[in-house]
Structure 1
Amino acid sequence: MLLSRFIFLLVFLSPGLPVSAQAQETAPVGIAIFNMAWAGTIDDFKRHVEVCGAPEVNWCDSRIKIPRGTQHAAPEEEIRAKRCREATIEAAGGFEAMMMTAPCNAYGKRKHPGRAETAENYDAKLSGLRATIENLIQNENIKVIAFQEVKSREVIEQVLGEFAGQFNVCIAPHDAFQTVAFAWDKSISSISSAENSCVPNLDLAITEQLRDEPARHRVRPGLALRLVINGVPVTFLNIHLKSGCANLKTGSGFTGHKLTDPDPACEVLNRQVPILEDWVENVARESPRFVLFGDFNRRIDEEERALVAKSDVRTDGTDSAEPNTKDEWGRVKSSYLWQEIADGFPAMHQVPLTSTERGCNGLKGLDHIVISDAIKQSQTRELSSRKIAVVKKRPQPIVTSDHCPNVTVLEL
C-alpha cells in the first residue's frame, strides 16, 4: 500500500513545486456524464436479436417483476422469470455468454419487438449517440466524459465520431454487458499514457445474490481516471450503482426507501455503500482534488435536502465518520447514501443541476456530479450543471438514450 502511494506521488505530483502553489493555477475544464443505455456495436445488437428472437425465448423478460409497494413477487411470476432465464441462457450458449448480451427488454417494451429491433433502427440510436457526443465536444467544450452502460472501447470510439483521434479511452473490465468508461481529450493532461491513467474498482461489482448460487450476476464496477491538469493531480471517479432504490421520498409512482429497508434493490445498494466510501477516502488521501460522478441510481440531492441528523444516518446511532460495521453479507447500518459518504472526510459538495434543455424527458435525479472541497475552494464561479438533450430523429423506435448528458465546467 505504501509503495503504491509512493508511486502515485512520483507520477502525479510535479517536481520542484508544492501542491499548494500548483493549485493556484486553474483553467476551466468541461466535464460530462452520459449513460448511453445499453450501447454496443452493431454486431453486439445483432447478437442480442439472435438470442432474443430464438423461438424458445421469444423476447421474454427474464427479470422478476415485483409490484411496487411489495417486497416479493408472486410465485407464478418467479416461475415465469425462471423459465425465461433458462431459455435465454440456452439460446446464448451459457450463463457467461448471456451476461455479455443485452437482455431482451434493453431497448424498449413493445408488443412486437422483433419488428422494431432492426439493425437500421439500432444504427439510428448509434447515430444519435455520436451526434450528441460530437455536440458536447464541439459546442460545450467538454474535455472529460464519464460513460455508463457501455459494452466496449470499440463502441466508445465509434460514438466519438470525428473526435475519436483527439481522445484517449479506457474502460473497466466486467463480466457483463454494462460497464463504465472514460474518454478524455489528450491535450488536458501531462500524463501521456492512457493505460497508466485508469484504475478500475472491481470491488464495487458485488454479486446481487447473497447466498451461493451456480450463476451469479454482478453489478457494475467503478473506474478511476487520474490526470495531471495544470501541474496538479486530479482524480475522476466514475460510478454506476445498483438501480431500483432511487427515491428517499415516495412520489411519481415510486415508493420511497431508506437503504436499510427490507427491499431487494436497497439491500444491494446498501452493500455498495462501504465499498464506495472506502474508495473515496483512499483516493482523497492521495489526490485531494477529485470528482465523483456518474449514475448514482439514488436521489442524493433529495437526501441532502432531508437534513438528516447525524444520529439518524445509521440505525444504530453511531457516527457516520466512524468505521462502518458490516454483517456477514456486507450490509451496513447506513440508511442514507449521501450522509454516509459525505461525513466530513473527505468534505464533498454536490454540483447542483440548474437547467435542463427541452427534450430531456428521460430518467431524472439519478446522475450526479460531486466535487471535493479542494476543488470547490478553487472555483471563482457559482457551481452549476446542465442537462443537454440527446440528438434523436422522429420517429426513432430505439431511443438514443433514456438519460441526457449532465455537464459542468470546473476550474482545475
Structure 2
Amino acid sequence: MISLGAFMHELFIPSSCIEHIRRISCFAAILLSGLPACAYTEEISPAQETSPTEIPVASSVPTPVGIAVFNMAWAGTIDDFKRHVEVCSAPEVDWCDSRVKISRGASHPTPEEEARAKKCQEAFIAAAGGFDTAMMIAPCNAYGKHPARAETVENYNLKLDGLRAAVEDLIQNEKIKVIAFQEVKSQETIERVLGKFAGQFDVCAAPHSAFQTVAFAWDKSIPAGANRCTTNRELALAENPGDKRAHRVRPGLALELVIGGSPVTFLNVHLKSGCANLKTAPGFPGHQLTDSEPACTVLNRQIPILEDWIEQIASQSPRFILLGDFNRRIDEEARARIPKAQVRADGSDPAGPNTRDEFGSVKSNYLWQEIADGSPSMYQVRLTSTEPGCTGFKGLDHIVISGPVRRAQAGAPRSSKIALVKSGRQSIATSDHCPRITILEF
C-alpha cells in the first residue's frame, strides 16, 4: 500500500499543499469514526531507514532559493594568467589569433586564412610544451583585441576584482544561494571570486582537459544530496571526431541539493558556441541545427547527449533546473512555434527515439523543441528585466525548470540580468555576460 506522502510525491503536488491535504483527510476520518483524534504516518522501506536526525522533514512553507547563472569569460587564477602571457608573448607566437576568421558574407574562410590560423595554432602548442598543456592555457585573444598592450597582472587583477564584486553583490543584495558558473578554470578561481563569502559556500568544478569548464557554488545552509556533484563527460565531445588533437567542448555538471526535504538537481551546461541564432541578425546568420555550419554540427551532436542526461536525471529527481550558457537562443526557438512535424528533418516525433549517425549527429533542427518534447515537461524562466549598463551577449544564458518545479511556484517565474561592476581604468573586461538570476520556491 502506498502512503499518502508517497502518493502526493508521485503526483508532484507541492509540499506546501500536502500538509493541508493530510489535515483534511484526518478531519474526515474523525467525522466518520467518531474518534477524538487521528494520526497519519509515512511508510519507510528498509532502504530508507535512517536515524531521526538524518530524515529531512518536508516543510509546509515554501522555501525561496535565489539562483544565478554567470559566464565569467576565461576566469582563472593569477598564475593561470601569467602562464597565458608567457606563452602568447613568445616570439614565435607574438599574440597571434588561432581562430579561423571568415569574411562578412562568406560561408567559408580563404585558404590563406586557414593556413595563417594553423600556423598560429602550431606555434602556440609548441610554446606551451605540447597539445594537452596548450589546451589548459587561455588563447591569446581571450582578454581583448589588443592583448600585448592590455594584458598586465594589474589589469587582470581588476577583472578578478570585478568578478568578486559581482558575485558578492549577487549573494549580499540579491540573496543568491546557488550559482552556476561557466568559463572558469578551477575551483580555486571560484573561491577567489566568492570573496568574503568564500567560507559560507561549498564549491565543485567539473574536471576537464581544456581551460574552460563549469562549476557550482552553493550556500552551506542547503545540504547536498547523495549525488552531490556529478560530471557529464559525454557532453565534452571532440569537435572533430577521429582527430586525436581535436579540441573538446565543455562537460556538464549536475548538483543535487536537498531543499524542502526532497532532492532538487541542478544541471549546469555550456554548449558549443557559434550557432546561436535561428533567425539572421546583424553579423549573426541564422541556422537550424542540421545546417552544415561546423559549429552547428557540433551543437547538433550534443543534443542527444543532453536529452538523455535530462531524462535520466528526471527519473531520479523530478524537481530539476537546467541552466547555463546554451549558446543558442532557445527563447527565439520557442517563439517560433515550430510544428512537431518540422522539429526533425525526417519528420519523426521529437518525443520518440533520436537516431544518431556514425558521427553522433541527429535529425534535430531545433534545440528547444527537441529537449522540451513533453517528457519530461520543461519551462523556460522568462527574462523580464535587464539592468542599465548590462551589455554583452544576449539570449545565450537560460534557466529552465521542470514541471514539478513550475507547479510549486505561486505565479509565473521571472528572471533578471544584473549589471557588472566595472572600474574606469579596466582594460580587460570583467565579463562579456551579465549574471542572470531568479528566485524559485521549493
Structure-1-length-normalised TM-score = 0.93
Between structure 1 and structure 2, the one with the greater Rg is: 2
RMSD, aligned CA: 2.2
- The residue matched to 1:234 in structure 2 has which SS? strand
- 1:43 is aligned to 79
Equivalent residue runs for 1:328-347 within 5 Å: 328-347=358-377
Q: CA deviation at 1:382?
A: 2.5
Give the whole-Å Cα distance in 2 for the aligned partners of 1:91 and 1:320. Answer: 47
Structure 1 residues 342 and 115: CA distance shift in structure 2, 3 A: same
- 1:262 is aligned to 292
Output one character per residue of 1:107-144: Cα deviation in whole Å (capped at 9) or x when no partner: 0112xx22210000000000000000000000000000
Equivalent residue runs for 1:360-399 within 5 Å: 360-399=390-429
Equivalent residue runs for 1:116-265 within 5 Å: 116-189=150-223, 191=225, 197-210=228-241, 212-265=242-295
Give the whole-Å Cα distance in 1 for the aligned partners of 2:386 and 2:339. Answer: 31
Q: CA deviation at 1:346?
A: 0.5
**One-letter code aligned to 2:97:** D
- Check the 8 A contact 1:68/1:254 in 2, yes or no: no
Structure 1 residues 284 and 23: CA distance shift in structure 2, 3 A: farther
Output one character per residue of 1:206-229: Cα deviation in whole Å (capped at 9) or x when no partner: 00003x224111000000000111
The runs of at least 4 aligned residues of structure 1 exceeding 2 Å deviation read 9-19, 21-26, 66-72
Give the whole-Å Cα distance in 1 for the aligned partners of 2:47 and 2:102. Answer: 51
- Check the 8 A contact 1:28/1:411 in 2, yes or no: yes
Structure 1 residues 24 and 308: CA distance shift in structure 2, 3 A: farther
Structure 1 residues 237 and 14: CA distance shift in structure 2, 3 A: farther
Give the whole-Å Cα distance in 2 for the aligned partners of 1:208 and 1:233. Answer: 34
- The residue matched to 2:83 in structure 1 has which SS? helix
- Check the 8 A contact 1:259/1:336 in 2, yes or no: yes
Give the whole-Å Cα distance in 2 for the aligned partners of 1:12 and 1:394. Answer: 58
Q: CA deviation at 1:69?
A: 4.5
- The residue matched to 2:87 in structure 1 has which SS? helix
- Check the 8 A contact 2:230/2:254 in 1, yes or no: yes
Q: CA deviation at 1:64?
A: 1.2
Structure 1 residues 12 and 319: CA distance shift in structure 2, 3 A: farther
**One-letter code aligned to 1:394:** G
Q: CA deviation at 1:10?
A: 6.3
- 1:99 is aligned to 135
- The residue matched to 2:234 in structure 1 has which SS? helix
Output one character per residue of 1:264-304: Cα deviation in whole Å (capped at 9) or x when no partner: 00000000000000000010011000000000000000000
Aligned length: 397
Structure 1 residues 56 and 391: CA distance shift in structure 2, 3 A: same
**One-letter code aligned to 1:382:** A
Q: CA deviation at 1:13?
A: 11
1:55 maps to which of 77, 86, 91:
91
**One-letter code aligned to 2:116:** R
Give the whole-Å Cα distance in 2 for the aligned partners of 1:206 and 1:68. Answer: 29
- Check the 8 A contact 1:24/1:378 in 2, yes or no: no
- Check the 8 A contact 1:348/1:373 in 2, yes or no: yes
Give the whole-Å Cα distance in 1 for the aligned partners of 2:131 and 2:224. Answer: 42
Structure-2-length-normalised TM-score = 0.87
Q: CA deviation at 1:58?
A: 0.4
1:26 maps to which of 62, 74, 78:
62
Equivalent residue runs for 1:274-353 within 5 Å: 274-353=304-383
**One-letter code aligned to 1:166:** Q
Q: CA deviation at 1:103?
A: 0.2
Q: CA deviation at 1:14?
A: 11
- Check the 8 A contact 2:224/2:256 in 1, yes or no: no
**One-letter code aligned to 1:267:** T
**Is the counterpart of residue 405 in structure 1 residue 432 in structure 2?**
no
- Check the 8 A contact 2:290/2:296 in 1, yes or no: yes
Output one character per residue of 1:4-53: Cα deviation in whole Å (capped at 9) or x when no partner: xxxxx96899999999x948542110000000000000110000000000
Percent identical residues: 67
**One-letter code aligned to 1:298:** R
**One-letter code aligned to 2:394:** K
- Check the 8 A contact 1:34/1:147 in 2, yes or no: yes
Question: Which structure 1 residue ranges, 5 or more long, are not aligned?
Answer: 1-8
Give the whole-Å Cα distance in 1 for the aligned partners of 2:301 and 2:197. Answer: 38
**One-letter code aligned to 1:198:** C
Question: Which structure 2 residue ranges, 5 or more long, are not aligned?
Answer: 1-45
Q: CA deviation at 1:70?
A: 3.8
Structure 1 residues 43 and 54: CA distance shift in structure 2, 3 A: same
- Check the 8 A contact 1:239/1:294 in 2, yes or no: yes
Output one character per residue of 1:135-193: Cα deviation in whole Å (capped at 9) or x when no partner: 000000000000000001101001000000000000000000000000000002265x8
